[in-house]
Structure 1
Amino acid sequence: MSALESSPEESNSAVRPSGFARAASLVGLGIFSSRTVGLARDIITASLIGTTAAASAFSIAFTIPNLFRRLLGEGALAAGLVPFFAEELAKGNPRNAWSKAGKVLSVAALILLLLTLAGMLICWIGTGLTVPGTRLYMVFAYAFGLLAYMPMICLVGLSMGLLNACGHFFVPAFTPILLNASWILAGLLICPFLPKTPYHQAWGLVIGILAGGVIQLAVQIPILLKHGWRPRWEPHWRDPFVRNVFRLAAPAVIGLSVTQVNVVVDRTLAGYLSEYAASALFYAERLIYLPLGLVGTALGTVALPSMSRLFSKGDRTGMARIFERGLGLVLFWTLPAAVGLYWLGPEIVALIYEHGSFDQSSTAHVVWALRFYVPGLLAFSALKVIIPAFYAMKDTTTPVRVAWVALLLNLVLNLILMQWLEHGGLALATSVSAWV
């Protein structure tokens, strides 16, 4: 058994400060593998739908399940659950910890089911009120299909947070590869049998995403069982543990909601700018997510359970060491990546995306957005370590206050900068607000 994968009896040990970099390296390797496969996925996606109206509609619709994944999956709810779960593990009672976590999972599943049904109803009504073939119609249509992915990926995110708290990083780190692989297979095996229009090709990708959600959830279940989770339907709203988790998560939900509102605002304004703007932002973000995931996300994934455990034990010195180590690694790895993306952006975009429906004009649109995302890369990565530090201390209100300031600044800058820089202005506004 790897030193980074603990048994149920040892799961209260989590990750010691001395093993922080090693654990982050394992997570980073998983993210690197996923991002590498993700690049192949993006190449296929760009070849099939390019920067067309269907591509923009698809990218907008896909932000909906991703939004809730960040809120009720690996984001806010995990920020409320993991510190309490790690605290229970630190007490040496994993059975009790899993019992309480199971109740939270039950409540989360119920909420997600209700949200999914409500969202599908709205999308069904929306398709009836819009003209077929228009961008808005396609957004409603794709969102209707992708909403089924939402509960699966949110539960996957929560499961990954719990396994990380147990010191098991391998499976959670490599699970996202399954979504990308399913997406690629859909592009290669399903899309060729669909009509060749971008609208129909995107539906093949929707099928791949749904299959990927099922596979990711199925892979997590055996590992959860191995670590002590027992499937029970216990949506007990009034349980003290459940109430504490949701009480801690509530400010984080608000804070992350503000962050996601920024994304929705950017996509909406991009839709008004041009047919290609939203998809250009999407492809540029995919390139930014590669170093962001390898560095920021990897460090943040390991930092939250590690700092939560140390904080619950009163070891402020150990927690500070992990925090400082994380920020140091962010600075060391992110700066060279930012320089490389800025200067080699045109070559990178052309090499990865310029195939099929993605032509030279598409490359120019994506590079324009990428140039303005790059200045925010260091801030994006640092926040992946800074915010978990607040969550580990069970302080979810401070990030909310900062997020509100960033939202207002982003909105004002969007409206100003888009007048001169078009969709590049939206990217620059996001970068500037991240530094706040």
Structure 2
Amino acid sequence: MSLVRKFATVGGATLGSRVLGFARETLMAAALGTGPMADAFYAAFRFPNLFRRLFAEGAFNAAFVPLFAKEIEAGGIEGAKRFSEEVFGVLFSVLLLLTIAMELMMPLIVAWIIAPGFVGDTEKFDITVKLAVVMFPYLMCMSLTAMLSGMLNSLHHYFAAAVAPVFLNVMLIGALGLALWQGASPLDTAWYLSWGVLGAGLLQMAVLYAGVRHAGIRIGFRRPRMTPNVKRLLWLAFPAAVTGGITQINQIIGQMIASTKDGAISVLQYADRVYQLPLGVVGIAVGVVLLPELARALKGGQEREAGNLQNRSMEFVLFLTLPAAGALWVISDEIVRVLYERGAFGTETTAIVAGTLAIYGLGLPGFVMIKALNPGFFAREDTKTPMRITLLSVVLNCILAVTLFPLFHERGIATAEAVSGWVTALLLFVTLVRRGHWPLEKALAWRIARLLIATVVMAVALNYASLYLADRLAPTSPLYEQVLALGLLVAFAMVVYFSVAFLIGGADLGMLRRNLKRKAKAAPPEEGSAE
């Protein structure tokens, strides 16, 4: 299967999840707006999400995948099964103890980490604690799910792992639909959502376990033992966990600071959901597919192939995220109004969320570049270097967030995250180049410059087009007219961008197809693949 097809497989599944995520946030905005229950739910949900990124997705994509791939090459499926069972036994035991400890300490965690600003509001604080207690076991489910996803990705079964997040959005949409149908109070709605999160975690784990069984591996439970393989995994996983969770770390810092202002947490969440669409579809797809591909190329001594994979991935990333960043900057008001402005979500809230979204948009290429750059370290089993860079980024984010929040509120938090994201991407890139792990191409530099020109042309044209359709996009227009007008703006922007990009040489479809095409080598048979 070609690399571009693998990107499309993962990206397509992620796109489905993100579209459902929009539907979920639209219902959330109508049901809760930016009120206290929305703040309480998002604050409580952010914490298990942070740990999920730290101890699950980041750690296993960085550490587990290369080691699992090595076991497949050395001992075949049976060796990979033995390694998986060793890891599963240790992971399950550690997560169980962590979950119990966190549940008992939840009031202190909310007061000191999740939302210090809620301490003065007893009702809001108590509700946040209770919601977090219900949702925290989601971490255990998702950590085990991440391990199963890593196994499937290493076996070239990308679709099942990519589609699993859809179930979270389906469960939460069902919970919101039930709440709106019953006319439930904001508090009852928050409870429905919390139990929906826990149910989704269990469902995702079950789906991924079935996928692994379908791929030919049955995992049994082994007594936890610190075998050499498990020790190596943990040695690689800790710094990788910090690196993989950089976005969540910065967001939890922003949430801590934002909790001192009513509604600020909800504003950041609504803006975050919109820019997560291109970040997820492009960034996650590239990160998930590139790591095992790069690891296999390096294990086979194919340095030139590895360099080509990295350059083509960066080209693919910027080709799609630069126009997304330009569009988010120009029509953020229109996007937020059409998606959210109804029910408890008013015009004033639209302006605040749109301003925050525009700044997140400027940071989008940097956030996605991190996903494409980290595999250059992880595939070489180097997780410490990106961790050091990540820690510098976190310090920078803290300083900027504390400095800018009193002046610009939610926009200050978004600015801090965007700046730290770009700094991280640049430091990762420079480090790879200096070590000789990223061969620079003049052709790539010229293409990026031309893509920037195409993005500017598109942004200017989009600005004039939005003014032309202003009446159709006004809050007084029927919703179907607003949706149609926004769809026309997006289609117009795509036509302008791709036309200019191909016209001036920023992109060449034939070249992209030739350079991205790469058949998997030494891969197990794909019969019965989830794809």
TM over 0.5: yes
1:144 matches 2:127 = no
Residues 131 and 137, structure 1, Cα contact 8 Å, conserved in 2: no
Structure 2 letter corresponding to 1:271: S
Asked whether the 8 Å contact 2:49–2:248 carries over to 1, the reply is: no
| Counterpart residue number, 2:63 | 80
Aligned partner of residue 355 in structure 1, secondary structure:
coil
Contact 1:43 1:352 in 2 (8 A): yes
Residues 126 and 246 (structure 1 numbering): CA distance in 2 closer, same or farther, change over 3 Å? closer
The answer for the alignment partner of 1:296 in structure 2 is 283
Equivalent residues in 2 for 1:364-383, closer than 5 Å: 364-383=351-370
Please, which moves more after superposition, 150-159 or 223-232?
223-232
Partner of 1:11: none
2:156 match: secondary structure: coil
Report the residue type matching 1:212 in the other structure. Answer: A
CA distance in 2, matches of 1:261, 1:293: 17
Alignment of 1:272-311 (within 5 A): 272=260, 274-311=261-298
> How far did 1:145 drift?
0.8
2:320 corresponds in structure 1 to 333
1:348 to 335, 344, 357: 335
Offset, 1:92: 5.9
Q: In the comparison of the two structures, how many residue pairs are matched?
A: 417
1:384 corresponding residue in structure 2: 371
Provide, for residues 7-30 of structure 1, a one-character-per-residue CA deviation record: whole Å limited to 9, x for no partner.
xxxxxxxxxxxx111100111100
Q: Distance in 2 between matches of 1:142 and 1:301?
A: 31
User: 1:109 maps to which residue?
Assistant: 92
The structural deviation recorded for 1:80 is: 1.1
Question: Greater CA deviation, 286-295 or 101-110?
Answer: 101-110
Cα deviation code 1:229-281 (max 9, x no counterpart): 32322243321111111111122134346654322210011111x21111100
CA–CA distance in structure 2, aligned partners of residues 297 and 228 of structure 1: 25
Q: Which residue of 1 aligns with 2:146?
A: 157
**Match for residue 405 of structure 1 among 392, 401, 406:** 392
CA distance in 2, matches of 1:144, 1:275: 22
Distance in 1, matches of 2:62 and 2:244, equals 11
Give CA-to-partner distance per residue, 1:119-177, whole Å, 9 cap, x none: 11112678999788533222212111111211111211221121011100111121111
Q: What CA distance in whole angstroms lies between the structure 2 residues aligned with 1:223 and 1:324?
A: 32
Q: Deviations over 1:347-367 (max 9, x none)?
A: 111111112211112212211
Among 256, 259, 263, which residue is 1:271 paired with?
259
8 Å contact kept, 2:287–2:371: yes
2:195 maps to a residue whose letter is I
Within 2, Cα distance between the matches of 1:246 and 1:25?
A: 31
8 Å contact from structure 2 (residues 22, 339) kept in 1: yes
Counterpart AA for 2:71: E
Q: 2:218 matched to which residue of 1?
A: 230
1:194 CA drift (Å): 6.9
- Distance in 2, Cα, partners of 1:229 & 1:304: 21
Contact 2:324–2:361 under 8 Å retained in 1 = no
Residue 215 of structure 1 pairs with residue 203 of structure 2: yes
Instruction: Determine whether 1:174 maps to 2:163.
Output: yes
**Counterparts of 2:198 and 2:179, CA distance in 1:** 13
TM-score (norm 2): 0.75
Equivalent in the alignment of 2:401: 414
Give the counterpart letter for 1:163 in structure 2: L
Local SS of the residue matching 1:101: helix
1:161/1:375 Cα in 2 relative to 1: closer, same or farther (>3 Å)? same
Aligned to 1:322: 309
Paired with 2:109 and 2:240, the residues of 1 have a C-alpha distance of 30
Distance 1:314 1:334, change over 3 A: same
Give the conservation status (yes or no) of the 8 Å contact 1:104–1:242.
yes
RMSD: 2.0
TM-score (norm 1): 0.91
Preserved contact between residue 307 and residue 389 of structure 1 (Cα < 8 Å) = yes
Which structure has the greater CA radius of gyration?
2
The question of whether the paired residues in 1 share the 8 Å contact of 2:405 and 2:412 is answered with yes
Structure 1 residues 373 and 283: alpha-carbon distance in aligned structure 2, compared to 1, 3 A threshold? same
Match of 1:14 in 2: none
Q: Distance in 2 between matches of 1:386 and 1:169?
A: 20
In 1, Cα distance between equivalents of 2:413 and 2:3: 36
Report 1 or 2 for greater relative contact order, CA contacts < 8 Å, sequence distance ≥ 6. Answer: 1
CA deviations 1:263-314 (Å, max 9, x no partner) are: 2210011111x21111100110111100001111111110111111222222
What is residue 202 of structure 1 aligned with on the other side? 190
Question: Is structure 2 residue 43 aligned with structure 1 residue 66?
Answer: no
> Which residue of 1 is the match for residue 448 of structure 2?
none
Q: Partners of 2:321 and 2:162 in 1: how far apart?
A: 20
Instruction: Return the alpha-carbon distance in structure 1 between the equivalents of residues 3 and 325 of structure 2.
Output: 24
CA distance in 2, matches of 1:250, 1:69: 13
Quick one: structure 1 residues 424 and 132, their matched pair in 2 at CA, closer, same or farther if it must change by over 3 Å? Answer: closer
Instruction: Select which of 232, 254, 257 maps to 1:244.
Output: 232
Residues 235 and 392 of structure 1: is their aligned pair in 2 closer, same or farther, counting only changes over 3 Å? farther
Please, which moves more after superposition, 123-132 or 372-381?
123-132
- Return closer, same or farther for 1:65/1:191 CA change in 2, 3 Å cut-off: farther
Paired position in structure 2 for 1:43: 26
**Matched residue, 1:10:** none
**Paired residues of 2:175 and 2:189 also in contact (CA < 8 A):** no
Instruction: Give 1:267's aligned amino acid.
Output: Q
8 A contact 1:342–1:371 mirrored in 2: yes
Residue 72 of structure 1: how far off its partner (Å): 2.0
Shift of 1:42: 0.8
